[in-house]
Amino acid sequence: MTTVPEDFLRAFHAAHPAVTARAMARGLAADGRSSYEILRDAVTGRRRVLDLGCGDGLLLELLAADPGRELAGIDLSADELALARRRPGVAAADLRVGRAQQLPFADGQFDGCVTHMALMLMDEAERVAAELARVLEPGGTLAAVIGGGPAGGEAYELFLRLARPLFDAAPAARRIPRLGDRRLRTPEGFDEIFGPAGFGPVRWESVRIDLTGPPDLVWRTVGGIYDIGPLDPAVTAGLRARFAAEAVATALPDGRVPCAMTVRVATARRLG
């Protein structure tokens, strides 16, 4: 089975493999960790860990630095998984092309599950929650990084101010389908979905990720969002030119452009 949003995601990631890692790996929280490292640390001590929507395997590679761990990853995108397979640290991981709504793993197989910038994109959130409850053993940890938008007063906000009217004006064929379940962007919505599936109350933290950098790098970060994919290339080129012109006015004395986003770090325990 497949859905229109999932077909869109597969096509987008085939055209832009590793897009998320390229945008976010360099981002740093106030404590100096990337959002990937925050998830790595959220499952410290867990020995059998699944990365749900693992993309190009960056987080799996970080998890693999802890020897003796059994790792698995699953993603809709065969193109992203092909990149994950090339990472030496991930060679022993069980990598599957598949859907979070129908996990090809055994009951209680994992004591930890991480998911970076992926959970909020998934259709049929209740089915995903039920599948995670099934494959996590009682007491297992679920740790998710969920996108929270611009942090305010920086390049990501500028980008969205310029881009939103273009997204809204685009003809239907050049718009993205509705992706995922918005309830997963609030702690109340998260508990509404994961509570009945067998998880304890979520621990929810907002973290600012600094993505300040040279203008081109910042464009690559903000311009990597899904909505850009189907836009007319001429519209995207115009947006990029306007963004570059306006972003330069915000540049720091060293030429770098301030950029930041908020992520939500959600952790919940499988009850049992």
Ligand X SMILES: C[S@@+](CC[C@H](N)C(=O)[O-])C[C@H]1O[C@@H](n2cnc3c(N)ncnc32)[C@H](O)[C@@H]1O
**Interaction site with ligand X (CB under 6 A):** 9, 13, 20-21, 53-55, 58, 74-77, 80, 99-101, 116-118, 121-122
Contact indicator for 84, 64 with CB cutoff of 8 Å: no
- Give strand ranges (E) for the chain: 48-52, 70-75, 94-97, 110-116, 136-150, 203-210, 260-269
Closest CA to 2 of 83, 74, 102: 102
CB of 119 to ligand X, least distance (A): 8
CB atoms closer than 10 angstroms to residue 234: 8
Output the CA torsion sign for 142, 112, 146, 171.
Answer: negative
Residues 6 or more apart from 256 whose CB is under 8 A from it?
Answer: 212, 213, 214
Residue length of the chain:
272
Shortest distance (Å) from residue 247 CB to ligand X: 23
User: Which C-beta is closer to ligand X: that of 121 or that of 222?
Assistant: 121
Cα 120 to Cα 105: distance, rounded to the nearest angstrom = 21
CB-wise, 104 or 139, nearer to ligand X?
A: 104
Q: Find the shortest distance in angstroms from Cβ 250 to ligand X.
A: 26
DSSP secondary structure letter of residue 34:
-
The smaller minimum CB distance to ligand X, of residues 101 and 212, is found at 101
Nearest-CB residue to ligand X? 55
Q: How far is the CB of 190 from ligand X (least distance, A)?
A: 17
State the minimum distance, in angstroms, from the CB of residue 242 to ligand X. Answer: 25
- C-beta of 170: minimal distance to ligand X in Å? 21
- Quick check: helix, strand or coil at residue 65? coil
189 vs 250, beta carbon nearer ligand X: 189
Nearer to ligand X, 118 or 218 (CB): 118
Please say which residue, 195 or 224, places its beta carbon nearer to ligand X.
224
Collapse the DSSP code of 137 into the 3-class scheme (helix H, G, I; strand E, B; otherwise coil) and give the result.
strand
Q: Which is nearer to ligand X, 54 or 184 (CB)?
A: 54
**Beta bridge pairs of residue 208:** 262
